[in-house]
Structure 1
Amino acid sequence: MGVNWPELERQLRQFLPPRAVVSARQELLAYDCDGLTLSRHQPPLVVLPETTAQVAAAVKLCHQQGVPFVARGSGTGLSGGAVAEIESLVIVTSRMRQVLAIDLENQRITVQPGVINSWVTRAVAGDGFYYAPDPSSQVACSIGGNVAENSGGVHCLKYGVTSNHVLGLEVVLPDGSVTSLGSELDETPELDLRGAFIGSEGTLGIATAITLRLLRAPQSVAVLLADFTSMEAAGEAVRQVTAAGLLPAGMEMMDRLTIEAVNDYFGVDEYPRDAAALLLIELDGQEGEVAAAVQLATQLCSQAGARTVRQATDAQERALLWKGRKSAVSALGRRFPSYYLQDGVVPRSALPRVLAAIEQLSASYGLPVANVFHAGDGNLHPLILYSAQEPGIEERVKALAAAILRLCVDEGGSISGEHGVGSDKRCYLDWMYGPDDLATMQLVRRAFDPLNIANPGKIFPTPSSCGESARRVAVLQAQGQALPDEAVVF
């Protein structure tokens, strides 16, 4: 029996603010995709609550009527995770933008999920604190979305990803009840359900208040720009720097295509235009420590083949160097309106040969690939550039993306470092995990959501969407065995 969407809309309007329910077709278009525009699904209904109580009421209504729901923040995700692929109520938290509490004495801050990432640092910078996780989209992405995807960013090499900086969560569970996961303490004795929730991509509930760890601003910061004649040489520099025991705050790599796009975007050659690759290395800490690290990193980059190593002279120049890196995807999007961004991970030691292999794959598929990524922790972000008007291009683009991710897995890496699995990469999850592993993960999901209404169809391979999953189900059926939960299509 289908959902009576007009009746559900009427019920939602009874407790939500005016204009908090979106049902007009032209307005719903704004929610038909996330940052991954290759796949679009217009939802039947969208709500924009402003409080935990309103979120809980909407979710409880869904639970009572068996209506699927999808949590959505700013919509900047890159794995199709916030898209209503199955007809669902989309619950958007972008109006929940309050800073609820600041506790500088204990170095923590509590915010609603719609608070933009960069706003957290802005709220405490005057007191000498900052929030470390900084995705490239930090001026647009929300903390709730960062929690859902376990986002990283430029400084995740030294300071870790979102899960390392979330102390506690207020969560609306899929039955509409409200609970707390974790606490305001660094270490607690209970089962780490906080850790299970972070990175669950909206499949275990919706976070409505998030307590974050703040860090003291470092005494000294230095940024180095090293340019190379090949991507392989830049990858070797990353390997040597990390092997030497240096721990930069961030270490980012860009290839020639990206360098040219960024320079054109800003109308100034901030980066060496003739370089095949460059590294941005940020070192922070005490003054003496940073000075010694700068000297060693410069030596190692030169040893690996850097043509020049330049140090930013002041805070303004440091900001300019990072602005180019964080604007790289936008710059590429300006030159190539259609692109497909992936998110594989490889061991740092494998970077030189993986980058060479991606170059070969690019030539083989006849599609340019721009590389801009978190080199320090091996989190690749290859952008496949194409013309959407070319017949059959989407299949070729996806095939190249799959080949790159397969390469990452074969090198001992992962299909995702921070963008999540969503609907985009669910068919590749069984490259990394066997049937028993996937079934165990589904047990966790079912404990939170027995009705399978929280972001259904995401993360896990299903027969309706993945050929390999369909083959496994056919084998089990032929053997007369019970089907795993992943075989159930909503």
Structure 2
Amino acid sequence: MTIIEELKQIVGGDAVLSGKGERMTYERDAYPLEAAQPLATVLPSTTEQVAAIVKLCVKHDIPFTPRGAGTGLAGGTLCPGGVLIGVARMNRVLDIDLRNRRLTAQAGAVNVELTKAVAGDGYLYAPDPSSQGASTIGGNIANNAGGPHTLKYGVTVNHVLALEMVLPDGEIVTLGDKTEDTNGYDLMGLAVGAEGTFGIVTQATLRLVRQTQAVRTLLAVFGTIDDATQTVSDIVAAGIVPAALEMLDGVIIQTVEDAFHYGFPRDAGAVLIIELDGLAAGIDTLAARVRDVCTASGAREVRQASTPQERAKLWAARKKAIGTLGRLAPSCVTQDCVIPRSKLPEVLRAIAGIGAKHNLRIANVFHAGDGNLHPATLFDERDPEQVQRVMAASHDILELCIGMGGTLTGEHGIGVEKRDYMPLLFPAETLRTMSDVRDVFNAAGLCNPGKILPTSHGCSFEFTPRGGAVAV
């Protein structure tokens, strides 16, 4: 009996995708520069099926990789020649406990659906990546996803209470606890952000927060990127912590306006979307303070959304911004480095220089409040020469950010894209320790191999652009 036949016995014939076209469909995530076809994609419906698939892969010494919606931007779900375990059919909200402000959902549940499930009762799930309309909770947990409201509410790990997980040997375990505080080692915290290298999350218990009494959403318009980025530091220095503080540059403003006609000023160098929330008492005074800071820092105009519809338009512009860049080029690589807020003006100028050096157009839309940059480099992936220039520009951007005291990722993960840059951040001893920790969970190295750690520290595959893998 072949491995494909054995997989079908576990999940049924319609849940095993192994045809040529089906393998191509799952050969990549949203990172366009690398691809690797799996042997098969399997779509289980239960934790027990996931465990059975893992045990079968271990029996046959075949690598396996978890996948949610494939919205990842670092190649974290590439699975060359292995079994891709897709959790898209495990998408149910299992329990809502409003009294204790928590919710339990399967790993394939879509982020925004969690808030929809409790919005009528005045609650929400705070982490809100821009892909929240498609990305799954399992993927959010794997990469410790953030989003615009990270500035005030924190990233995914701050909202996870417990995980059900299938370990790389097929054992089903629960990490964490549904209570607010647990004893012993924080194994759950270790698993969040491990990019599926410690096991496959199948369900999670998540913290809910109350919707705030009042929200004010402002759009500050600037003539230059320098003025906009300096204003970010000025707002925080004034003792104000917005719920969200996002920046869009002139390129993004143009494409968003072309796509949606929201009334954005086409001649602006940059805009800031600033959201404040909290008690109704005092929020208008706080909004006035933010207006004053923006004006003093060079804003030529500060608008305030006066209706829920206007607020929704501002956030739609931000969340759909990267997609509008398809009007300018067929492909883009979106980086995810993090720098100190105070370095924003300097780094944005340097990124513009990198674009000019490599003859590439780079647009910027990012979480300005916490310095999480998302420079989007535009190109045509069908042109090998352009691909090489994009890779060189990405190298320069990452080295720039690290040199400024930053780090490689804020929410997209390391994946295959940035694994070989890890030695720029960590000495060899630290990387060996990371490898040792991974081996405690993943001793055989079959669970999502080739991710996070550079290949010299035990990765199982060398990935190559647009094709397969070479065993090492």
TM-score, scaled relative to structure 1? 0.92
Question: What's the counterpart of residue 408 of structure 2?
Answer: 415
Match of 2:214 among 212, 220, 231: 220
Deviations 1:8-38 (A, max 9, x none): 1111111213301111111221101001122
The 10-residue stretch of structure 1 (18-27 or 125-134) with the greater mean CA deviation from structure 2: 18-27
| Equivalent residue runs for 1:138-287 within 5 Å | 138-266=132-260, 268-287=261-280
Aligned-pair CA distance for 1:391: 4.5
CA distance in structure 2 between the partners assigned to 1:112 and 1:333 by the alignment: 32
CA distance in structure 2 between the partners assigned to 1:415 and 1:348 by the alignment: 15
Aligned-pair CA distance for 1:69: 0.3
| Equivalent residue runs for 1:87-486 within 5 Å | 87-266=81-260, 268-463=261-456
Deviations 1:357-404 (A, max 9, x none): 111111111111000000000000000011334451111101101111
SS of structure 2 residue aligned to 1:392: helix
1:28 aligns with 2:23: yes
CA distance in structure 1 between the partners assigned to 2:106 and 2:383 by the alignment: 43
- The AA in structure 1 aligned to 2:173 is T
Question: What's the counterpart of residue 69 of structure 2?
Answer: 74
In the alignment, is the contact (CA less than 8 A) between 1:371 and 1:381 conserved in 2? yes
Aligned-pair CA distance for 1:354: 0.7
Deviations 1:175-197 (A, max 9, x none): 00000000111111120000000
CA distance in structure 2 between the partners assigned to 1:217 and 1:310 by the alignment: 23
In the alignment, is the contact (CA less than 8 A) between 2:222 and 2:299 conserved in 1? yes
Deviations 1:291-328 (A, max 9, x none): 12201111111111100011110111111111011010
CA distance in structure 2 between the partners assigned to 1:400 and 1:112 by the alignment: 38
Aligned-pair CA distance for 1:269: 4.3
SS of structure 1 residue aligned to 2:282: helix
Aligned-pair CA distance for 1:333: 1.9
In the alignment, is the contact (CA less than 8 A) between 2:33 and 2:381 conserved in 1? no
CA distance in structure 1 between the partners assigned to 2:296 and 2:284 by the alignment: 19
Aligned-pair CA distance for 1:463: 4.0
Give 5+ residue unaligned stretches, structure 2: 463-469
Change (3 A) 1:181 1:116: same
Give 5+ residue unaligned stretches, structure 1: 1-5, 470-487
CA distance in structure 2 between the partners assigned to 1:459 and 1:193 by the alignment: 18
Question: What's the counterpart of residue 52 of structure 1?
Answer: 47
In the alignment, is the contact (CA less than 8 A) between 1:81 and 1:422 conserved in 2? yes
Question: What's the counterpart of residue 472 of structure 1?
Answer: none
CA distance in structure 1 between the partners assigned to 2:161 and 2:263 by the alignment: 39
In the alignment, is the contact (CA less than 8 A) between 1:270 and 1:321 conserved in 2? no
- The AA in structure 2 aligned to 1:133 is P
Number of aligned residue pairs: give it.
Answer: 463
CA distance in structure 1 between the partners assigned to 2:222 and 2:14 by the alignment: 53
Question: What's the counterpart of residue 7 of structure 2?
Answer: 12
Aligned-pair CA distance for 1:448: 0.3
Question: What's the counterpart of residue 480 of structure 1?
Answer: none
SS of structure 2 residue aligned to 1:427: helix
Change (3 A) 1:123 1:269: closer
In the alignment, is the contact (CA less than 8 A) between 2:255 and 2:324 conserved in 1? yes
Aligned-pair CA distance for 1:103: 0.2
In the alignment, is the contact (CA less than 8 A) between 2:262 and 2:313 conserved in 1? no
TM-score, scaled relative to structure 2? 0.96
CA distance in structure 2 between the partners assigned to 1:390 and 1:77 by the alignment: 23
SS of structure 2 residue aligned to 1:398: helix
Change (3 A) 1:26 1:449: same
The 10-residue stretch of structure 1 (6-15 or 366-375) with the greater mean CA deviation from structure 2: 6-15
SS of structure 2 residue aligned to 1:167: strand
CA distance in structure 2 between the partners assigned to 1:290 and 1:335 by the alignment: 39
CA distance in structure 1 between the partners assigned to 2:418 and 2:44 by the alignment: 29
The 10-residue stretch of structure 1 (141-150 or 183-192) with the greater mean CA deviation from structure 2: 183-192
- The AA in structure 2 aligned to 1:211 is T
CA distance in structure 1 between the partners assigned to 2:448 and 2:246 by the alignment: 33
CA distance in structure 2 between the partners assigned to 1:286 and 1:397 by the alignment: 46
Deviations 1:210-266 (A, max 9, x none): 001000000000001001111111010000001111111100000000000000111
CA distance in structure 1 between the partners assigned to 2:353 and 2:419 by the alignment: 25
CA distance in structure 1 between the partners assigned to 2:185 and 2:416 by the alignment: 29
